Structure 1
Amino acid sequence: MDKLKIAIGSDHAGFDYKQLLIPYLQGKEIIAEVKDFGTHSPDSVDYPDFAHPVASAVENGEFDLGILICGSANGVAITANKHQGIRAAICWEKELAVLAKSHNNANIVCIPERFIPQETAMEIVDAFLTTPFEGGRHANRVGKIACSC
């Protein structure tokens, strides 16, 4: 497997886990690069200001996968999924990350910092990074996601 380039971002409510995950990711053999798209402090900010740049970086192929973190994960997921090439999944346990990758070919994982422990966040990230897309019947379904309206 080629080494992965990861885009990561958060709002203030996801700042602590982002700060935890960056060195965790940088220590992994499968990671080539981790780019922090902010925020860079725990001061209150607007989550779209960080979710859009991460989603754009993944959508345009500059990065392989993205990680977004906010209090509930809802705001960053809603924002990221506005991008046509993004499949952002909210995951609060490892099994959801496995299914998001294997069945939905998710390319951004959204983590709810206020609702899960740090260890669970790391398990989710590990599962998200290492689970392959199954393809087959799932590829057909994923192919129908984009809106051509």
Structure 2
Amino acid sequence: MGRPAKPIGVAVGARTKDEIEGRAAAEEKLKGNAPPRPPKNLNKEQKKIFREIVKRLQDADILCALDDYILAKTAVAIDKLREIDADIEAKPEKKYDTDVMNARAKYTQDFYRGCNELGLSPQARAKMAISLSKQEGDPLTKLLEGDGD
């Protein structure tokens, strides 16, 4: 199985100028102009989490309306983890309840997946930063692409 595709702005590897421009145009077309909006089925707290993630990622300019569902899934996971953890805090014996801990593990997995997909973890941001610095700052890459004149 290959690696997951990255937006062309943070992807590394040998590509022609035409490939980069074509992919950037296609990504921009898919992105559209609409900002992400929380789906109506989210509760008040989940919408608050959704909007907070969007607000914090606004400067990165990586989100669009197509990200609504991954953002929603991540917001639900965060909300449910908070609920489960508060419940366990109030009743410590619940940490021995298999159903409770299985639900917690499921929402934790959803949370980590959302972090990876949205660049919310330090590791995901580091990968993006490394990719950007390689593209912007590598003189050899610029020379090979013909931008080093």
Q: Considering the TM-score relative to the shorter chain, is it more than 0.5?
A: no
Which is higher, the Rg of structure 1 or of structure 2?
2
TM-score normalised by the chain length of structure 1: 0.28
TM-score normalised by the chain length of structure 2: 0.28
Higher helix share: 2
